[in-house]
Amino acid sequence: MQTDTMLTVQDLNVYYGAIHALKGISFELKKGEIVALIGANGAGKSTTLSTISGLIRPRQGSIIFEGKDITMAPSEQIVRLGIVQSPEGRRIFATLTVMENLEMGAYTRSNKAEIQDGLAEVFKRFPRLDERRKQLGGTLSGGEQQMLAIARAMMARPALLLLDEPSMGLSPILVEQIFDIIHDINEDGTSILLVEQNAQMALSISDRAYVLETGRIVMSGDAQEMLHDPSIVEAYLGGGH
Amino acid sequence: MTPNGTPNSKDTLFIQSLRKGWLGKVFLILIGLAALWKLGVSLADNPVLFLQQVINGLQLGFVYALIALGYTMVYGIVRLINFAHGDVFMVGAFVGFYTIARFQFHTWPERLFPGLPQWLVLGVGTVTVVLISMAICALLAFTIERVAYKPLRNAPRISALITAIGVSFFLEYFGALQFVFTPNFVTFERPFSVQNWQINNLGIQALPSGQSPADNSIIISNIALIIVLASILLLLLLQFIVQGTRVGKAMRAVAYDKQTARLMGINVDGIISITFAIGAALAGAAGILYATAFPQVYFVMGIIPGLKAFVAAVLGGIGSIPGAVVGALIMGQAEVLSAAYISTPMRDAVAFSILVIVLLVRPTGIFGEPEREKA
Ligand SMILES: Nc1ncnc2c1ncn2[C@@H]1O[C@H](COP(=O)(O)OP(=O)(O)O)[C@@H](O)[C@H]1O
Ligand SMILES: [Mg+2]
């Protein structure tokens, strides 16, 4: 069967020592989709992304990306294959300039002209970063750092972008702005796996969503339907909206 | 200890000042003033002698800088005090000894192209010798890192530290074997002969060997010049690598945050290996320069210069590249001036007192920043 499935996660089990952080989660993402992974703090969202990126090894289960088994692939190779993560807490290299941070994003690419094109594209999307090219990453505001984190990931020209809590710690206006940008990036052809605690925002721009609770997927479905399902609103979106 | 000596309302003023270490600081400031006074008097007394000491200190300081960089870069990237680093410096000096005395590599251009001018032969030949030493030290450090340190990357820091001490002993006593470097002092053959110049109120004159200098002259040797120039060249090269190249930027990224560096597709282990190799290459060059200035090599010759370079790195702020250079230049001066104006054995005491003082007063050193909490 020839499907347009891009990423398939099968029965993933991840442990931190004795802590069973992911208890057999399975989900998939189709080319071109934004899929949201929502759930409370400690549910296992970041662990899922870290495992896909090859930072953590699962004890059981598999991760298939575009037909290749990448479960045990080194992170470097995963980036080269086109899965790039913008991590939780932005993790900007504070001692590197904005420009150098972007260059690190493009680390796996060698074609100078393509990198230049990537830079031009990123600066068009984030004019703020263009103005701050020479500034150290650590001196940016929270919103600018989040933009830089996404821009840095985009420099690797991902086919699949993993975003871990891009709204964390940002003002509502900035959150709005960041989500618009995420939406645009997806429109331009990048598939996105979006991890969020801000479920409302995440669902509003996603195609589909999975709800994670203490290491298990407890619900999944169409994002718009979930957004309007009273029981989900009650349980996961803080209710009353 | 309370963080940052936050005042506690219950404490008396006296306790508070004790806690903030004011007594110690006042004491240190007094010592510092006394030292400055002594130096000022010496300078006024005999400026020529003083200047001569400063020049000697500069030569020593630059050698320390080349070694200190290896400590600071490795610490910056894996938080390890690589106590075997001084022994890599020793190996570098011995590689110089073998390539020159045994294999005559310093004159290879002449054998290949007879009739070349002598300065060109020795220039190219000496650079070759230094490059061989740098390459072998880089390879050695690469191997040490892979065999001894990498398996301990996630072990408690103390394990790696103890391993480093073990590697240090291994290099020293493996070197002491009869068929390796021997347990003896070995005379280092300089690739070129010493040339002194004297500078005094009559200007600069070449000083034929064996002739004693005129009164009130400063002596500068070709060796001092070469050490200072070669070191500056290597420092500029390092600066270019770290600031300007893709690998250098990756080194800084890895030093800051390994996990995120991996998310960028950076081969973190590879970058760590390169960092060890670059630090060791600088130590290898330092080994040859040091042996050219003090032409005697032996299997434990790396311990004291290694420790002093370590102090220099701590003084400058371990992890900081400019800090290592500044710290090393200060150490060079402190050592030479205390030998000249206090007493010769005092120079080691002063060097290590600096370590104690830095650790007490400003553990982060001159350029260091407080340790960032790792996520
Ligand atoms: N490095 C770690 N060591 C031990 N336990 C961890 C570690 N990282 C996460 N955990 C635990 O794994 C579970 C999932 O964490 P995480 O994936 O960070 O959740 P989320 O991103 O959904 O907030 C939590 O119980 C957390 O305490
Ligand atoms: Mg998380």
> Is A6 in a helix, a strand, or coil?
strand
A19 C-beta closer than 6 A to ligand 1: yes
Q: Does residue A43 have its Cβ closer than 6 Å to ligand 1?
A: yes
Q: Which of B258, B260, B263, B369 to mutate to test the interface with A (most CBs of A within 10 A)?
A: B263
Residues 231-250 of B with CB under 8 A from A: 246, 249-250
> Which candidate from B250, B260, B266 shows the least CB-CB separation from A87?
B260
Distance CA A185, CA A208 (A): 17
Dist. CA A212–CA A35, nearest whole Å = 13
Residue B373 confidence (pLDDT): 44
CB contacts, 8 Å: B256 with chain A: 93-96
| pLDDT < 50 stretches in chain A | 1-2, 239-241
Residue type, A86: S
Both tokens assigned to B365: 């050193």
Give the DSSP letter string of A101-151: HHHHHTTT---HHHHHHHHHHHHHH-HHHHHTTTSBGGGS-HHHHHHHHHH
Q: Which residue of B has its CA nearest to A84?
A: B263
Which residues make Cβ contacts (< 8 Å) with residue B170, sequence separation at least 6?
B84
Give the mean pLDDT of chain B: 91
Q: For residue range B180-224, what is the model confidence (pLDDT) as tens digits?
A: 999 999 999 999 889 999 998 888 989 888 888 888 899 999 999
pLDDT level of residue B16 (50, 70, 90 thresholds): confident
One-letter amino acid of A213? E
Express as a percent the part of chain B with pLDDT over 90: 68
Q: How far apart are CA A128 and CA B173, in angstroms?
A: 58
Closest-CA residue to A82 (of A135, A144, A156) = A156
Cβ distance A55 to B250 less than 8 Å, yes or no, reads: no
Minimum distance, in Å, between the CA of residue B363 and any CA atom of chain A: 21
Option in A54, A76, A96 nearest B253 (CB): A96
Chain B residue with minimal CA distance to A104? Answer: B264
Asked whether residue B2 carries a pLDDT value surpassing 60, the answer given is no
Of A85, A89, A104, the CB nearest to B375: A89
Contacts of A85 in chain B (CB under 8 A): 263
Neighboring chain A residues of B266 at a CB cutoff of 8 Å: 76, 104, 107
Q: Which ligand is closest to the CA of A25, given by its number?
A: 1
Specify the ligand 1 atom closest to the Cα of A50: 17
Strands (DSSP E) along B142-278, which ranges?
186-187, 196-200, 203-207, 218-221
* B368 φ, ψ (degrees, to nearest 5): -75, 150
Q: For residues A216 and A25, what is the distance between their CA atoms, to the nearest angstrom? A: 6
A99 touching chain B per CB within 8 A: no
Residue A225 parent element (H or E): helix A223-228
Residue A210: the pLDDT is: 96
Whether residues A79 and B263 touch (CB distance < 8 A) is answered with yes
What interhelical angle do B222-244 and B268-293 show, nearest 10? 170
- Position B15 scores a pLDDT of 74
Question: What ipTM was predicted for this assembly?
Answer: 0.94
Question: Is A21's C-beta closer than 6 angstroms to any atom of ligand 1?
Answer: yes
pLDDT of residue B43: 87
| % chain B with pLDDT above 70 | 94
Helix (H) or strand (E) holding A8: strand A5-16
Q: Ligand 1: does its nearest atom lie under 6 Å from the Cβ of A89?
A: no
Residue B158: burial class (beta carbons within 10 Å; 0-12, 13-18, 19+): exposed
pLDDT at B125: 93
B122 has a chain A CB within 8 A of its CB: no
**CA dist., res. B277 & res. A31, Å (int):** 43
Question: Lowest-confidence range among B26-30, B70-74, B88-92, B234-238?
Answer: B26-30
Asked if A236 and A211 count as a contact pair (C-beta separation under 8 A), the reply is yes
In the DSSP assignment, the letter for residue B212 is: P
Residue A239: predicted pLDDT:
44
Best of A52, A76, A136, A148 to mutate (most B CBs within 10 Å, chain B): A76
Cα of A44 from ligand 1 centre, angstroms: 6
Domains of chain A (ranges; CATH) run 5-91+160-237 (3.40.50.300)
Residue of A234 and B130 predicted with greater confidence? B130
For A59, list phi and psi in degrees, rounded to 5. -80, -25
Alpha-carbon distance of B339 to B332, in angstroms, equals: 11
Mapping DSSP to helix (H, G, I), strand (E, B) and coil, where does residue A191 land? strand
B111 at interface of A, judged by CB pairs closer than 8 A: no
- Ligand 2 center–CA A168 separation, angstroms: 10
Ligand found nearest the CA of A40: 1
Cβ A46 under 6 angstroms from ligand 1: yes
Among A12, A19, A85, A162, which is best to mutate for testing ligand 1, by the most ligand atoms less than 8 A from CB?
A19
Taking an 8 Å cut-off on Cβ atoms, the answer to whether A107 and B260 are in contact is no
Distance, in angstroms, between A79 CA and closest chain B CA?
Answer: 5
Question: In which element (H, E) is residue B297 found?
Answer: strand B296-297
Q: How confident is the model at residue B232 (pLDDT cuts 50, 70, 90)?
A: very high
Closest residue to A85, CB basis, from B255, B261, B263: B263
CA angle A4-A10-A15, nearest 5°? 140
Identify whether the C-beta of residue A72 lies closer than 8 Å to the C-beta of residue A181. Answer: no
Distance in angstroms (rounded) separating the CA atoms of residues B218 and B244: 39
Residue of A nearest to B261 (CA): A104
For B237-288, the pLDDT digits (tens) are 999 999 999 999 999 999 999 999 999 999 999 999 999 999 999 999 999 9
pLDDT at residue A241, rounded to an integer: 38
Closest CA to A149 of A103, A88, A92, A84: A92
Q: Which of A85, A95, A107 sits opposite B266 (nearest CB)?
A: A107
**Secondary element (H or E) of residue A50:** helix A45-52
Indicate if the pLDDT at residue B54 is higher than 50: yes
- pLDDT of the residue at B72: 96
Distances (CA, A) of A145 to A126, A141, A169, A175: 11, 6, 11, 13
Q: How confident is the model at residue B9 (pLDDT cuts 50, 70, 90)?
A: low
Quote the CA–CA distance of B256 and B242 in Å, as a whole number: 14
What pLDDT is attached to residue B5? 46
pLDDT of residue A88: 97
Residue B8 — pLDDT band, cuts 50, 70, 90? low
What pLDDT score was predicted for residue B371? 59
